[in-house]
Structure 1
Amino acid sequence: MTRLLLVISLLFTLTACDSSEERAEEHFRNAMSLLEAGDPDRALIELRNVLKLNTSHTEARRLYADTVIERGQLEEGLAQYLRLAEQTPEDGPANRIVTQMLLANGDYEGAALYATKAKAALPDDPNVNAMNAAITYQLAVQGKDAKGIHDALEQAKAVLQADPDQFYARQTVMADLIENGAWTALLDQADAGLAIDQQSLPLHRARLMALERLGDLSGIETSLQTMTQLFPEEESLGVKLVNWYTRQGRTDDAEAWLAKQVGQFPDARQTLITYIRGTRGIAPALTALDEALNAQPMPEDVAQDRLTFAAMRAALRYENGERDQAINELRTLIEDAPESESKDRARMALATILDDQDQHEEAQSLVSATLTHDPSQVEALRLQASWMIAADETGDAILLLRKALDQAPDNAQVLATLSQAYEREGSRDLMSDVLMRAVEAANYEPSLTLRMVNVLKAQGQLHAAEELTIDALRRQNTDLALIGTLAEIHIAMEDWGRVTQDIQRLRSLDAPAATSLANELEGQQLALRRKTAELMQFVEANLGSDSNGTAMVVRSLILNDQINEATDFARKAYDANPEDPVAIFLYATTLGHQKQDAEAIALFRKLVTNDPTQRDSWMAIYNLLQRDGQMDQGLAVLDEALTHLPDDAGLLWIRASHMQTSGDIDQAIVLYEDLYQKNSDAEMIANNLASLLSTARTDENSLNRAYIIARRLQNSSIPAYQDTYGWIAYRRGELTDAVAHLESAASALSFDPTVQYHAGMAYIASNQPEKARKVLLQAADLLAQAPEAMPDLANMVNDALGGLAVPEQASAGN
C-alpha cells in the first residue's frame, strides 16, 4: 500500500511539472507574439509569468533582459543577464553582454570575471577580445603594472588592425595616448574612429580634448558646434561651447548661439536672459525680457508660459534694487494665477526674496502652498531643508534634499544645501564631496567655487584651492572675486612672483574696481614682506592722500613693530584732515598701541558722537577700557553702543563674552542663544554656546543640545573647537573621540588650565593615569600662576589629582 501511494505521488508530481512547463511555454509564445505586435508592456508580464513557472527558462530570461534594456532599464537588464550567466556559465553571448554593461559602469574588476568566461566560449569574437584588452589595460594601469599595460595595448592594437570597428580596442589605444600626452596621435585615432561611427560621443570628446591640448582654436570651435548639433540632448555641450566663447572674449557669439536655441528647447530663452544678466548686466537682461513680454505677436515660448517670464522679470527688478516693486509684482502674479508648475516657480522666487528679507512667515506659507500642490517641487524642498538645517534638524533636511535630488540630480543649489547639512552634522568629507559636485554642476560659478576654495584653505590644501580657483577663472576670466582669491592664496603660499602676476592681471582689466583691488593687494604684499619704504613710495605715487593708502602704511608699520613711526605717520594724516573718520580712527589706533588710552578714547568718542553706528569705534573703546581693568565702564559702553545698534552681531557677541568672563553664565547663554537663532551658521557662536551648555550645566537636555550644536566641530583643526567637542564627547562617554580631540587641544592650548583639565579627565576615564597626571599638574601650575582667581577649577584639578594618588598608594601598601 505504501509503495502504491509513493508511485501515485510521483505521478502527480510529474504531471504537475509537465503542466507548469507547458504553461510556461504558452506564456513564452504569448510574449513573443506580443513583442511582434509592438506591445512590450504585456509581453514583459508574460515573460515574468514564464520565469515564475520555470526559473531555468534561459530564452525567456534573455528575452526579458533584452526587452528591459531596450526600454532603458539597464540595472534590471544587467541583473537578469547576471543570473543568466550564473545559470549557464558557458553562455558566451550572456557573458559578453554582462562584460559590456559592467565596462560601461566602469567596473573593471567585476567585468574581468565575465570577460574571461566570454573569451573561453567565444575565443574569436573581436568584441570580446577588445573588451578583454580594455579591462586588462585598466587593471594594469591601476596596479602600475608596466608589462601588463604593454601586453594589453599590443592586444588592443592587434584587434583594431584586424577590425577597425572595435570601439573598446580603439578606446584602449586612445587611453594610452592620453596617458602619454600624444595629442596629435590621439586626434588621428579619434578621426579614424569617427570615419566609421560619426555618432560616437566618446570619440568626439577625445577629439575635442586633443584639439584643446594642441591649442587649435578654430578646430575647437568647429568641433563644439558639430557636437551640439549631433547631440542636442547633451546640455553640457552647449554649456561648454558658450563657456568657450566667453573665455575667448566672444560674448556676442555666445549670446548669438544661445539666441538660436530659443524656440527649440523649453528653457532656452531663460538661459539666454541669465547669460545676458551675467555678461552685460541687469539692465540689458530686463530689456530683453521686456521686449519678449511686449512683442506683438508674443513669442510662442513666452505666450505659453508668460508667468515664468514675468516672475523672472520681477526677480531681476529685485536684484536691481527695486525691492518693494518686485515683491508686490510677484504677489500680484501669484494671486491672479491658477495652480500650475509656473505658479510654483513664481511662489519660490517670491519665497526666496522674502526669506532674504527675513520675512520668514510669508516665505514658509508660500513653500507650504507649493508643496501642497507639488510635494516634489525641487526649490520648495530645498528652501524647506535650508530652514531645517538652521534649526539643526539635519536628518530630516537630508531626507528632503535627497528627495529633491531624485527630481534634479545635478541641481547645484540643492547639492550646495546638502553640503551645508553634512557640514552641520560634522561629516566633513561628505560635505566636501557634495560641495565639489555642486561646483561642477554649476560649471564653477564663482560664489559656489569660492565656498569650496574656502573649505580647501581651511584644510590647509592651498595647492588644491589654487587649482580650483584657476579652473573657475578659465570659465570667468574677469571675475574680480576669483582673481582676488587667487592672489590671496598666492600670498598665503608666499609665492610673490605669482602675486605680482595676479596684480598685473587685475590692472589689465582697466576698470576702477579692478584697479582698487590691485592697489589693495599691492599694499598688502609689500606690508607682509616688511617692505615699508617701498610701500610708502607706492602709496605716494599711486594713492596720494587716499585714506586707504594711509591705512596700508600704518598697518605695515605696526606689523613691523614700528609703533612710533606708525603714530607719526597717522598724526600727519590726522593733522592734514582732522575731520576725516579714517584718519581719526587710524591715529586713535596708534595712540592705543602707545598706551595713550585717554587720548585714544577721546578720538574714538569723537567718531561715535558724529556717527553712533561706528561699530569698530565702539569696540575699540570697550577694548581699551577692558585692558585697563575698567570692566563696569566697558559694559556701560557696550550697552550705550547697543542702543544705537541693537541688532549688531559683533557687539552682542562681545557682550555675551563679557557676561561669560564676569561669571554671569546664564545671561551669556541667553545672549548666545539669541545670536545662534539669528545666525546658526556661525561656528564661533556655535562653539561658545555649546561650550557653555556643556561646562556650566550638568543636565542631560543641555548636554544633548550642546552635542547637536557642536557636531559640526568634530575633526576641526581649531584648538578651541577641539576642546569644546572633546569635552562634550567625554561627557557622553565617547572616550576615543574625547581623547583624540582633547589631546590635540591641550597640546595647542598649553597655556589654558581649563583645556588641560578637560584632557586630564578624558585620560582618567580612558585609563591613562600617567598622561592624566601630566596635564593635571600642568593645569595646577597654570592656576597657581594665574593673576585671576579660578577657585572652582583649582578645586576640580586638585580633586582629580587626589583621585589619581589613591590607587598608587594602595598599590604601594600591597
Structure 2
Amino acid sequence: MTFDVSFRADPVRRGKRLLLSTVLVAGLGLSLAGCKSTAEKADEYYQSGLQLLDQGDTDRAIVQFRNVFDLDGTHYEARKALAEVHRQRGETSQAYSQYLRLAEQYPDDLPVRIALARMAFDAQQGDEFERHATRAVEIAPQDIEVQVLDLTRQFRAATQAEDADERARLAEEAVRLAAERPDDPLLIGILLDRAASSGDLDEADRLTARLLELQPDNPQRYMQRLALLAERQDNPAIEAHLRATIEQFPENTQAKADLVRFYMSQGQPEKAEDFLRELAAAAPPDNPAPGADLVRFVELQRGVDAARAEVDRIIAEGGDPVLFRTLRAGYDFQAGKRNEAIAEIRAVLEGVTEPTDASRDVRVQLARMLVETGDAAGARQQVDEVLAENAGHPGALKLKSAWDIQTDRVDDAVLSLRAVLDQAPEDAEALSLMADAYERAGEPDLARDYLSQAAAASGNAPGETLRLVSRLAAEERWRPAEDALLPALRQAPDNLALLQALGQVYLGMPDMPRAEGVITRLREIGTPEASSAADRLELGRLASQEGEAAALAYLEQQATAAEADTGAKLGLIRAQLATGQTAAALTIARDMVAADPESRPARMALGLAQAANADLPAARDQFQALVAEQPDDPAPHLALIRLAAQEGDLPGALALNDQALAAAPDNPDLLWSKAGLVERMGDIDAAIAIYEQLYARDSASIIVANNLASLLATWKSEDPAAVARATAVARRLNDTTVPAFMDTYGWIQHLNGDSQAALPYLEGAAQGLPGDPIVQLHLGIVQAAVGKNDAARAQLQKGLDMLPEGQEGQSVTAAREVLARLENPAPADAAAPNPVPNPAPDDAAAVPDAEPAPDPAPAAEGTN
C-alpha cells in the first residue's frame, strides 16, 4: 500500500494547522529568548551577592558567591569579593585559600599577590610571604605597596642574617616610605623594631598603640603591646591590657594564663584566684575546664584540703560529676585512701551510659591508680578498653607506650607516642616518654633532644628540667645544662633540687665563684635540707680546688662541731674508710656508739669500721646483733654476706643471702648480691634468672640491663633467642664510654655478625679494663674476625697469659682455637682473613662486683 504524497487537506483544518504551527514557533521563539547564558546566570548570582553585602546579610552573600563558581570557576570578581569577605570577617584561612585560587588563575594579578603577601606575613608564614612578595616585585617594582613588601622582605632577611648595618639602612628607608604611607602596618613594624633597638620606649609606645588601632583583631599586635608595657614595667597598664586582650579574644588561653602569672608575680594570688573564679562562673555548663583550673590553682596556693573543699562545692552546685568526682577521688588516693578512691572512680564509670573522651580520661586515671597499687593486669585491661573505643586516646597511648618501653618494645612505643604528639605537640609527658624510648633504643642524641623539648613544653618545670640537666651533666655539657636550669629557677627560685643541680654544674665547669654563690643562697634558705645541700656542694668545691685532704678536713670540722648530727659523723666515717683512714673511722664509730648505744646507724658504722680494721669476729657480732633485732633490714645482712665472701666461703655467703631473702623477700639489693654469688659459683642459669627478675622490676636500670645482656651473650651465644634478647636489652648501650658496657655491646655486635662495628667498642673496653683477661680475649677474637691477624695473635696471647691458673670457659677455649688457627693457617686460609666463628664466651664476661657490697644500694657501675 502506498501514500499519496501530494496530500490534500481540508482548508479549515489546514488553517487550524497553520495557526497551531505559528503559535508553536512563536512559543519556541519566546523560550529561546528567555534562556540566559551560563555567564549571565553566574553574573546574576554575583550581583545578588553584592546586594546582600550592601544589606549586611554576609552569610547569604557568601552562598551566592559560591553559587557563581558552580557555573563559572574562573569568575574573578566573585572570587575576589568572597576572599575579601572572609578577610574582613577574620577568617584568614578561607580568605587565603580564595586569594591563592585567584593567583593560580591570574598569576600576574598584582592586588592578589599583595594581599597574599600581607596575609602570609601576618600569619608568620615566611616562605609564603617570600614567594608572593618576590612575584609582586617582578610584576610592578615601582608600585609603592610593592616597594613596602620588598623592603619588608629585605629587612626580614637582614634580621635572620643578624646584619645590624643592613637593618639600620633598611629602617631609614622605612622612614622615607612611611612619610607616604604612615599607617602601613609593615612599615610601622620596621619602625617599631628600630625604636626598640635604640631604646626609644616612647616611640615604641606610640607605634604599638597605633598598630592596635589599625589592626584591633590581630593577636600579634596585643603581644607587641604587652612586651612594650612589660619593658616599661607599667603594671597597671599591663593588667588593663591583658584584660582587654581577653575581652577581645575570649578563647585566648595564653592571655588568661599571662594574667594569672602577672598577678602571681605581683604577689596578688587573691586577684588571680578571683579572676579564675570569674572564668569558672562565666563558663557554660558543658565546659568544666575553667572550674578544674580553679581547683588546681587553689591546690597549689592553699593545699589539698582547700582544693577538696572547692571540689565539694562545685559538685554540690551541679558541676560535672565525672570530672569533679574523679578529682576528689584523686585527692583521696593521695591521702592514702586508695581503695576508697578506686571504688569512687569505678562508681563514676558505672554512671556513664555513653562513653566519651572525658569518661575515657577517667578510665585512664583509674589505670594509673591501679598501676600504683600493683594491679598491672587491671590497669592494662582499662587501657585496652579505652583504646578499643578510641585507638588514638592520648592518655591510654602514653600508658601503653610506657609499658612498651619497659619491655623493650621501643618501636611500638615510638609509634604510639607519635600519635599522641600529632594531636598535642607540646605534651610534656609524651615528649619525656619519647626521650625514654630513644634512650632505650641507643639513640642518645634523639633522647637529649626530646628531653629538651619536654622541659620547654612543661614551662621549665623542675622534674622535666632536672631530667634534661642530668643527661647534659652526664655528657659534661655544662653550658647547656646551665641554660636549662636558669629559666626553671626564675620560676622556682628556692627549689632545692634545682639549686643543687646548678651548684653541681658550676663545679663541673668549673666556675667556683658562681658555685660559691649557689652555696650562699642555700645557706640563706636555711632549712636543714638546704644546709645539707650546701655542705655537699662545699665539700665538692674543696675537693676540686684544694684536694682530698681539704675535703676530709671539712668533713671532720662538720662532724666534730658541737651541733653535729649523726649524718655528718657517718659522712666522715664513709670518707675515712674510702681513703684508707680505717683507724680514725673506728675511733669515731666507737665514740658514736658510746654516746648512743641503741643507734642502729652508729652500730652499723662501727661494724664496717671493725671489718675494715680486720677485726672480723667483732664486726660479725655487730652485724648479727643488728639482724636479730630487725631481720628485714638488708644492710647488716649484706655486710655479713660480704664478710663470708671475703673469707672465701661462697657457700656460706649464699646461705646467708638466702636467709636474708627469707626475711626480706624480693629485696633488690639482696637479689643483686645473690646473682653475683651464684655466678661466681658457676650457676649461670640461676644468675640469669635473678637478673631477669630484677629487670622485670626495673628495666630502666642500665647496670641490670648490662649484666643480663652480658650473661646471655656470654653463656647463650649459640641460642638465637638468647642473643636476640641480649641485643634488645643492650640497645641502650650504643655510644657508651663505660668500659664494662663497651665490652657487652661490642661483643653482642660481634655475635650479630657486625665485627667491624664491634671493634672500637672492644678496643675501648680492653683499654679501660686492662686487668680483665676475658675482655682482652674478646678483643683478640674480634680482631681476628676482621682480619687483623697480627694484632689478634698478640692480643689473644696477652689475654691467655693473664688467665688465673685453671680458669677455663667457652671464651677461653674459643680464644685458644682462634690463636692456633692464626699461628698455623690452613692453605685455604692464606688468601682471605681467617673466618672466626662466634664463640661462646666464658663465665667472667659480665658483671657484678666480685663480692656483694655492704651498702644496700647496688654498685654505681657494672663491671665485667
TM-score category of the 2 structures, normalised to the smaller one: 0.7 to 0.9
Per-residue deviation, residues 95-138 of structure 1 (Å, max 9, x unmatched) = 44554566567664664454222122243555544443343334
Question: Are residues 552 and 521 of structure 1, via their aligned partners in 2, closer, same or farther at CA, if it must alter by over 3 Å?
Answer: farther
- 1:457 Cα deviation (Å)? 1.9
Question: Are residues 626 and 324 of structure 1, via their aligned partners in 2, closer, same or farther at CA, if it must alter by over 3 Å?
Answer: same
Partner of 1:404: 420
Aligned equivalents of 1:308, 1:418: Cα separation in 2: 28
Q: Is the 8 A contact 2:784 2:792 kept in 1?
A: no
Partner of 1:6: none
2:303 maps to 1:281: yes
Q: Is the 8 A contact 2:168 2:194 kept in 1?
A: no
Select the residue among 783, 791, 794 that pairs with 1:777: 794
Question: Are residues 27 and 590 of structure 1, via their aligned partners in 2, closer, same or farther at CA, if it must alter by over 3 Å?
Answer: farther
Worse overlay, 131-140 or 628-637 = 131-140
Partner of 1:330: 345
Partner of 1:13: none
What does 1:79-478 correspond to in 2, within 5 Å? 89-97=107-115, 99-100=117-118, 103=121, 108=126, 111-124=129-142, 128-143=146-161, 145=163, 148-174=166-192, 189-194=207-212, 196-210=214-228, 212=230, 221=239, 223-247=241-265, 249-265=267-283, 266=287, 267-294=289-316, 298=317, 303-341=318-356, 342-478=358-494
- 1:269 Cα deviation (Å)? 1.8
Partner of 2:725: 705
Q: Which has the higher contact order (CA 8 A, sep 6+)?
A: 2
2:743 maps to 1:723: yes
Per-residue deviation, residues 181-230 of structure 1 (Å, max 9, x unmatched) = 88777556534534544554334434444555566666655554554444
The AA in structure 2 aligned to 1:479 is N
What does 1:22-41 correspond to in 2, within 5 Å? 38=59
Per-residue deviation, residues 307-345 of structure 1 (Å, max 9, x unmatched) = 211110110111122222222222222223433434333
The alignment partner of 2:281 has SS state of coil
Partner of 2:496: 480
Question: Are residues 666 and 560 of structure 1, via their aligned partners in 2, closer, same or farther at CA, if it must alter by over 3 Å?
Answer: closer
2:709 maps to 1:690: yes
Select the residue among 518, 540, 551 that pairs with 1:502: 518
Per-residue deviation, residues 521-541 of structure 1 (Å, max 9, x unmatched) = 556656776343344334454
Question: Are residues 75 and 802 of structure 1, via their aligned partners in 2, closer, same or farther at CA, if it must alter by over 3 Å?
Answer: farther
Select the residue among 630, 642, 648 that pairs with 1:611: 630
The alignment partner of 2:597 has SS state of coil
Aligned equivalents of 1:515, 1:684: Cα separation in 2: 32
The AA in structure 2 aligned to 1:432 is R
CA-based RMSD: 4.0
Aligned equivalents of 1:29, 1:717: Cα separation in 2: 77
- 1:436 Cα deviation (Å)? 2.8
Aligned equivalents of 2:646, 2:200: Cα separation in 1: 67
Aligned equivalents of 2:448, 2:219: Cα separation in 1: 30
- 1:144 Cα deviation (Å)? 5.0
Partner of 1:16: none
Question: Are residues 773 and 520 of structure 1, via their aligned partners in 2, closer, same or farther at CA, if it must alter by over 3 Å?
Answer: same
Partner of 1:15: none
Q: Is the 8 A contact 1:99 1:114 kept in 2?
A: yes
Aligned equivalents of 2:653, 2:606: Cα separation in 1: 21
The alignment partner of 1:680 has SS state of coil
Partner of 2:553: 533
Per-residue deviation, residues 769-799 of structure 1 (Å, max 9, x unmatched) = 2xx6446634542442344725543343344
Q: Is the 8 A contact 1:503 1:518 kept in 2?
A: yes
Question: Are residues 58 and 690 of structure 1, via their aligned partners in 2, closer, same or farther at CA, if it must alter by over 3 Å?
Answer: farther
Partner of 2:18: none
2:671 maps to 1:656: no
- 1:551 Cα deviation (Å)? 1.7
The alignment partner of 1:38 has SS state of helix
Partner of 2:606: 587
Per-residue deviation, residues 215-263 of structure 1 (Å, max 9, x unmatched) = 6666655554554444442323333343344455443333333223222
Q: Is the 8 A contact 1:752 1:779 kept in 2?
A: no
Question: Are residues 230 and 386 of structure 1, via their aligned partners in 2, closer, same or farther at CA, if it must alter by over 3 Å?
Answer: same
The AA in structure 2 aligned to 1:280 is R
Question: Are residues 345 and 596 of structure 1, via their aligned partners in 2, closer, same or farther at CA, if it must alter by over 3 Å?
Answer: same
The AA in structure 2 aligned to 1:707 is T
Q: Is the 8 A contact 1:526 1:532 kept in 2?
A: no
The alignment partner of 1:532 has SS state of helix
Structure 1: any 5+ residue segments left out of the alignment?
A: 1-21
The alignment partner of 1:263 has SS state of helix
Structure 2: any 5+ residue segments left out of the alignment?
A: 1-36, 53-57, 833-864
Worse overlay, 105-114 or 433-442 = 105-114
Question: Are residues 58 and 250 of structure 1, via their aligned partners in 2, closer, same or farther at CA, if it must alter by over 3 Å?
Answer: same
Select the residue among 656, 674, 680 that pairs with 1:637: 656
Give aligned-pair identity as a percent: 30
Q: Is the 8 A contact 1:131 1:169 kept in 2?
A: no
Aligned equivalents of 1:631, 1:746: Cα separation in 2: 28
Worse overlay, 108-117 or 211-220 = 211-220
Partner of 2:758: 738
- TM-score, normalization by structure 2: 0.79
Worse overlay, 28-37 or 630-639 = 28-37
The AA in structure 2 aligned to 1:390 is Q
Partner of 1:4: none
Aligned equivalents of 2:99, 2:474: Cα separation in 1: 48
- 1:271 Cα deviation (Å)? 1.3
Worse overlay, 602-611 or 730-739 = 730-739
User: Paired residues, what number?
Assistant: 777
The alignment partner of 2:59 has SS state of coil
- 1:641 Cα deviation (Å)? 1.7
Per-residue deviation, residues 469-510 of structure 1 (Å, max 9, x unmatched) = 221122223333323333333344454443443344344445
The AA in structure 2 aligned to 1:38 is D
Aligned equivalents of 2:269, 2:695: Cα separation in 1: 44
Partner of 2:815: 797
- 1:548 Cα deviation (Å)? 0.8
Per-residue deviation, residues 648-687 of structure 1 (Å, max 9, x unmatched) = 2222223223333443322222222222222222222222
- TM-score, normalization by structure 1: 0.83
The alignment partner of 2:420 has SS state of helix
Q: Is the 8 A contact 1:563 1:590 kept in 2?
A: yes
Worse overlay, 705-714 or 141-150 = 141-150
Aligned equivalents of 2:351, 2:388: Cα separation in 1: 18
Aligned equivalents of 2:808, 2:91: Cα separation in 1: 69
User: Greater helix share, 1 or 2?
Assistant: 1
The AA in structure 2 aligned to 1:442 is S
Partner of 2:568: 549
Partner of 2:620: 601
Aligned equivalents of 2:43, 2:725: Cα separation in 1: 62
Q: Is the 8 A contact 2:96 2:119 kept in 1?
A: yes
- 1:569 Cα deviation (Å)? 1.9
Q: Is the 8 A contact 1:742 1:759 kept in 2?
A: yes
Question: Are residues 494 and 390 of structure 1, via their aligned partners in 2, closer, same or farther at CA, if it must alter by over 3 Å?
Answer: same
The AA in structure 2 aligned to 1:476 is A
